[in-house]
Amino acid sequence: MCGLTAQARALGILPAMRLAEARSIVPDLINITEEPALYEQYQARIMRHLDRYSPWIAADRALARENLAGQTGFWLEMTGGIHLFGDEETLMAQIERDLRHMGFACQSGMADTAGAAWACAQFLTGQPLRTLSLPADHAKARQLPVAGLRLPTATRATLHRLGLHHIHDLADLPRATLTTRLGPEVLQRLDQFYGRLPEHLNFQLPSQPWLMRQQYGEPLGDAANLEAAITQLVQSLCQDLQAHHKGLRRIILRCIRVDGHTHTVAITTSSACQSAPHLLRLLAEKLPGVDTGFGIEEVIVYAPWVENIAFRQISLEAQNPSASDTIALNELFDRIGHHLGPKDQLYRPDHHASHLPELAASKKPVSAKGTCPRLAESPLPARPIRLINPPEPVQIISRAANGLPLEIRWRRMALKIENLRGPERICPEWWHYLNQEGFALAEETRDYFHIQDQTGRQLWLCRHLVRRDRHIEDENTHPHTPSPQPDFFRPPCAMLPQPDPDLWSVHGLFA
Amino acid sequence: MTLAHALLDKRNKIGTFNGHISMTSRLQQARAALLRAEKHWQGHAACVNGGQPVLIKRAFGGIDLGNHFAAGGLMTTGLHEIMTEHHDSAASALAWYMAGLSPHSHQPAKQNKPATRLWVQHRKALDQGQVYAPALFAKQSNPQCALVMMNIDQQQTALWTCEEAAKSGQIGNVILETTDYDLTTARRLQLACEAGSCRLIVLRQHRAGQKIAPSPAWSRWHITPHGIYRKLSLIGGRGVRPASWKVCIDEATLRISVAAPLENRLPPKPHAIPEIRYPAHAGGYGKNKGFSRQGPDLCRHAK
């Protein structure tokens, strides 16, 4: 008999009782055939639910095997994760409430060791907080019953017959006699309870089938042999992926040499890929770097990043040759991207909503979706086709009366300005000047002019304002600050060359 | 119609050209006509891409390009070169405009997915800064083409990338900025373009007065400032009759069009123009020695 309801237990029916015996107590007993599959299903459901508290979950197999009362247990490794839920009390209350909401009765306990936590959850009843922190709660731990040690039923009966009911009865006995009389398990469980022996829990980890491993009795000493081995592994991995409608984004190839040296090649693709020829081509570029040495005895191919793929039929109407195939295009970008050096860039241009021209053009990776080189809703005045960043400073040769340049020197060429349009004023971003007034007159304010020189070249000229009165202001605001230099070192102000009130630079070229 | 008939027919038509076309270009035209006739005969002319026209007959605001190319128009695929200097970015606009040219530009393109364009910049090629992508799409609220850009440090990598992209057949237009390259490289690029039916536009760094290395490009262009306009020159290529036009570039849409259509008016049908005889010197076109590579009627505006 297994899996009793609370009502049945109240009537005196015990787990592992025979059906006839139970019928003699309760004649109108309803019995249902045991369904292990259903049990597994519920266990998996609870485990999926508990995943939200901690990724490390272990089912209590001993309880499921021996205890026929329809109970099950789970261990959660909560080390370092309790603060996410408040404190221990809140966490346990939340777990119990959630499980009760799902329709399961539940008891929880928390302790430093797995054994103590088990005992807490089972036997520390009536306490407001079922936690056991061992050096502090030593007295509480000693009062727990011997059944909290997860001993087999026979051992428990022996202990009961000997009058050893609580843990302190056992702990006070000399250790040597315990093993000879009761077997090694009692001491082992007791040590695991107190944390003197480690306990290995069988944590449920996600299954990772995207790994192919091949060991060779005769080490592969030839690059051609290695290539053949890798080809075979990658092909079988891709077949597996195709069968599951998945594609890999990253593949790691690991070649382990006879002397233990490991060579790892990692490749990331821009879209989920399940085509072996493409992967082999990408890997082939890196394979010359693998040194076979005295031979390679193990090859591992592992896909740590796998995504679902949904293939759709391409519409038959689209016979346009210029419309490109997404998969083939991504494979092309993979090939190009893996060939690039450290200084090379492959990107999709993107438009960032900013008035500052160098910030407006941003770069996104090729695999990024939804990039748009031009935001439709963002206004864009006339912008040059080429942006020189950082701007190239120019020298003003002559100016008009209003301060605008007539002749400039750029790249050692004298340019006579024949046509000048502007200015387009771009102020710095106001949120950098929240506590200051007049941010429009800050030094970062720029004026842009569209100029044309005598040859017809069209440039984007930028003017930075430089506040000439800055030093004077500083002195006025701090009149009592002693000057770092004695006065006679400083030439009179009139002799100082006046700083240029504005800095001019070329920021772009118009078509 | 047999091949011989076609050839004779073409020859007769060519025979009506008299006057402003020199002997060499006549020969070129005859050769091209023969080639076309042969291809017609074999059944695969002008229908490489599923029966669509593959030549651009009209571009740059209505210039009839058919008169300047022996093939009958500008090829939509293959290698095209634009000679440029460091200080002028009109060549970038020209490359972008040429990448958008299609044989049926008057029709809206019916495409499910936007065709991808690849712009490859070799860092040391042009001292012009970066291409500013928002400006390329300034007037298009919904950009029809996806643009991917590359900045590459080594010329070798840049050329390899272009070849790979062109060969793949997935990218319609590749724009490459590079320093000079040799004939072998250009030939490789041309073959890759033919393999993947891709248009490769190369912005080739060129200093004024420098000798231009030969290349198998279909067309070679040059654009220079010319007062308030630009002078767009078709300076070379395969079976090309050189010419130049005064054009202007629309800042917003980056469309290039003839500045004064009347001034740049193209010759009407050959039989309609009055016969002008130029002394046939070995050196060129007699009266217009200064523009010896240009047709006489095309350079009237250059005073």
| CATH of residue A301 | 3.30.1490.100
What pLDDT does A208 receive?
Answer: 67
Please indicate, yes or no, whether residues A175 and A216 belong to a single structural domain of this protein: no
- Mean pLDDT across chain A, nearest whole number? 83
What pLDDT does B97 receive?
Answer: 92
Assess if residue B24 is contained within a domain.
yes
φ, ψ for residue A30 (rounded to 5)? -90, 120
Please indicate, yes or no, whether residues B5 and B105 belong to a single structural domain of this protein: no
| Residue that is last in its domain, among B45, B60, B81 | B45
Q: Are A383 and B132 within 8 A, CB to CB?
A: yes
Please indicate, yes or no, whether residues A69 and A162 belong to a single structural domain of this protein: yes
Assess if residue A226 is contained within a domain.
yes
Long-range contacts of B221-225 (CB under 8 A, 24+ apart): B221/B80, B221/B81, B221/B82, B221/B83, B221/B94, B221/B98, B222/B82, B222/B83, B222/B84, B223/B82, B223/B84, B223/B88, B223/B90, B223/B91, B223/B94, B223/B247, B224/B88, B224/B90, B225/A455, B225/A456, B225/A457, B225/B88, B225/B90
Assess if residue A333 is contained within a domain.
no
Q: Lowest mean pLDDT: which of A230-239, A363-372, B51-60, B210-219?
A: B51-60
Q: Are B251 and A382 within 8 A, CB to CB?
A: yes
Q: Lowest mean pLDDT: which of A242-251, A353-362, B253-262?
A: B253-262
Interface of A with B in 293-322 (CB under 8 A): 315, 318-322
Q: Are A509 and B88 within 8 A, CB to CB?
A: yes
pLDDT digits (tens, 9 = 90+) for A13-25: 877 778 888 888 8
Please indicate, yes or no, whether residues B72 and B185 belong to a single structural domain of this protein: yes
What pLDDT does B39 receive?
Answer: 67
Chain A interface mutation, best of B170, B203, B250, B257, highest count of A Cβ atoms under 10 Å: B170
Please indicate, yes or no, whether residues A405 and A438 belong to a single structural domain of this protein: yes
Predicted complex ipTM: 0.70
List the single residue in B with minimal CA-CA distance to A382: B252
| Chain A residues in contact with B196 (beta carbon < 8 A) | none
A227 against A380, higher pLDDT: A227
Assess if residue B274 is contained within a domain.
no
| Chain B residues in contact with A322 (beta carbon < 8 A) | 109, 111, 115, 172
Q: Please determine, for residue A433, whether its predicted confidence score (pLDDT) is greater than 80.
A: no
Assess if residue B149 is contained within a domain.
yes
Based on its alpha-carbon atoms, the radius of gyration of chain A, rounded to whole angstroms, reads 39
Distance CA B27, CA B11 (A): 10
Assess if residue A448 is contained within a domain.
yes
**Environment class of residue A418 by beta-carbon count within 10 Å: exposed (0-12), middle (13-18) or buried (19+)?**
middle
Considering chain A, what percentage of its residues have pLDDT values greater than 70?
Answer: 86
Q: How confident is the model at residue B267 (pLDDT cuts 50, 70, 90)?
A: low
Please indicate, yes or no, whether residues A124 and A234 belong to a single structural domain of this protein: no
A312 against A220, higher pLDDT: A220
A134-157 average pLDDT score: 85
Q: Please determine, for residue A257, whether its predicted confidence score (pLDDT) is greater than 80.
A: yes
What pLDDT does A471 receive?
Answer: 47
Please indicate, yes or no, whether residues A159 and A282 belong to a single structural domain of this protein: no
- Return the structure tokens found at A199: 């306990």
What pLDDT does A428 receive?
Answer: 83
| Chain B residues in contact with A347 (beta carbon < 8 A) | 148-150
**Which residues are bridge partners to A306 per DSSP?**
A248
Q: How confident is the model at residue A395 (pLDDT cuts 50, 70, 90)?
A: very high
Contact A450, A420 (CB under 8 A): yes
Please indicate, yes or no, whether residues B208 and B172 belong to a single structural domain of this protein: yes
Assess if residue A133 is contained within a domain.
yes
What pLDDT does B19 receive?
Answer: 44
Task: Closest CB to B112: pick one of A323, A335, A363.
Answer: A323
Q: Please determine, for residue B52, whether its predicted confidence score (pLDDT) is greater than 50.
A: no
φ, ψ for residue A372 (rounded to 5)? -140, 120
Considering chain B, what percentage of its residues have pLDDT values greater than 90?
Answer: 25
Q: Please determine, for residue A181, whether its predicted confidence score (pLDDT) is greater than 50.
A: yes
Task: Closest CB to A386: pick one of B49, B129, B141.
Answer: B129
Distance CA A246, CA A307 (A): 6
Q: Please determine, for residue A27, whether its predicted confidence score (pLDDT) is greater than 80.
A: yes
Query: How many contacts does A have with B, using Cβ atoms within 8 A?
Result: 174
Assess if residue B125 is contained within a domain.
yes
Please indicate, yes or no, whether residues A478 and A391 belong to a single structural domain of this protein: yes
Domain membership of residue A486 as a residue range: 386-509
A203-211 average pLDDT score: 77
Q: How confident is the model at residue A345 (pLDDT cuts 50, 70, 90)?
A: very high
Shortest Cα distance from B212 to chain A (angstroms)? Answer: 23
What pLDDT does B42 receive?
Answer: 57
What pLDDT does B16 receive?
Answer: 43
Please indicate, yes or no, whether residues B105 and B140 belong to a single structural domain of this protein: yes
Please indicate, yes or no, whether residues B37 and B170 belong to a single structural domain of this protein: no
Task: Closest CB to A383: pick one of B138, B165, B229.
Answer: B138
A308-328 average pLDDT score: 62
Question: Cα B220 to the chain's mean position, in Å?
Answer: 6
Assess if residue B36 is contained within a domain.
yes
A266-290 average pLDDT score: 91
A360-387 average pLDDT score: 84
Q: Please determine, for residue B14, whether its predicted confidence score (pLDDT) is greater than 60.
A: no
Task: Closest CB to B157: pick one of A329, A339, A357.
Answer: A339
| Residue that is last in its domain, among A308, A338, A359 | A308
- Mean pLDDT across chain B, nearest whole number? 75
| Chain A residues in contact with B154 (beta carbon < 8 A) | 341, 344
- Pairing label, strands A345-351, B146-152: antiparallel
List the single residue in B with minimal CA-CA distance to A353: B134
| Residue that is last in its domain, among A141, A165, A194 | A194
Q: What single-letter amino acid sits at B11?
A: R
A359 touching chain B per CB within 8 A: no
**Which residues are bridge partners to B58 per DSSP?**
B64
Q: How confident is the model at residue B143 (pLDDT cuts 50, 70, 90)?
A: low
| Chain A residues in contact with B257 (beta carbon < 8 A) | none
| Chain B residues in contact with A336 (beta carbon < 8 A) | 150, 161, 164-165
Q: How confident is the model at residue B45 (pLDDT cuts 50, 70, 90)?
A: very low
Please indicate, yes or no, whether residues A93 and A123 belong to a single structural domain of this protein: yes
Distance CA A338, CA A334 (A): 6
| Chain B residues in contact with A326 (beta carbon < 8 A) | 113
Alpha helices in A312-356 (DSSP H): 326-339
What pLDDT does B220 receive?
Answer: 93
Shortest Cα distance from B178 to chain A (angstroms)? Answer: 14
Q: Are A385 and B254 within 8 A, CB to CB?
A: yes
Q: How confident is the model at residue A126 (pLDDT cuts 50, 70, 90)?
A: low
Please indicate, yes or no, whether residues A284 and A390 belong to a single structural domain of this protein: no
pLDDT digits (tens, 9 = 90+) for B99-127: 988 876 555 444 445 678 999 999 888 88
Q: Please determine, for residue B281, whether its predicted confidence score (pLDDT) is greater than 50.
A: no
Structurally, chain A folds into a number of domains equal to 3
What pLDDT does B266 receive?
Answer: 54
Q: Please determine, for residue B292, whether its predicted confidence score (pLDDT) is greater than 60.
A: no
| Residue that is last in its domain, among A292, A308, A324 | A308
Q: Lowest mean pLDDT: which of A400-409, A499-508, B221-230?
A: A499-508
Q: Are A349 and B109 within 8 A, CB to CB?
A: no
A11 touching chain B per CB within 8 A: no
Structurally, chain B folds into a number of domains equal to 2
What pLDDT does B49 receive?
Answer: 42
Q: Are A456 and B135 within 8 A, CB to CB?
A: no
A307 against B280, higher pLDDT: A307
- Return the structure tokens found at A406: 């007539």
Q: Please determine, for residue A466, whether its predicted confidence score (pLDDT) is greater than 80.
A: no
B20-35 average pLDDT score: 76
Which of B275, B266, B264 shows the shortest CA–CA distance to B300? B264
**Which residues are bridge partners to A215 per DSSP?**
A298
Interface of A with B in 266-295 (CB under 8 A): none
Q: What single-letter amino acid sits at A458?
A: Q
What pLDDT does B283 receive?
Answer: 39
What pLDDT does B114 receive?
Answer: 60
Please indicate, yes or no, whether residues A80 and A179 belong to a single structural domain of this protein: yes
List the single residue in A with minimal CA-CA distance to B88: A457
Assess if residue A445 is contained within a domain.
yes
Please indicate, yes or no, whether residues B2 and B60 belong to a single structural domain of this protein: no
Domain membership of residue B25 as a residue range: 1-45
B73 against A301, higher pLDDT: A301
pLDDT digits (tens, 9 = 90+) for B210-229: 888 888 999 999 999 888 88
What pLDDT does A315 receive?
Answer: 53
A101-111 average pLDDT score: 88
What pLDDT does B41 receive?
Answer: 59
A159-175 average pLDDT score: 89
What pLDDT does A234 receive?
Answer: 95
Please indicate, yes or no, whether residues A185 and A103 belong to a single structural domain of this protein: yes
Of A24-28, A113-117, A366-370, B295-299, where does the model show the most confidence?
A: A113-117
Assess if residue B275 is contained within a domain.
no
Distance CA A247, CA A123 (A): 49
Q: How confident is the model at residue A486 (pLDDT cuts 50, 70, 90)?
A: very low
Q: Are A383 and B111 within 8 A, CB to CB?
A: no
List the single residue in A with minimal CA-CA distance to B100: A322
Q: Are B164 and A332 within 8 A, CB to CB?
A: yes
Q: Lowest mean pLDDT: which of A56-65, A495-504, B245-254, B256-265?
A: A495-504
Please indicate, yes or no, whether residues B171 and B34 belong to a single structural domain of this protein: no
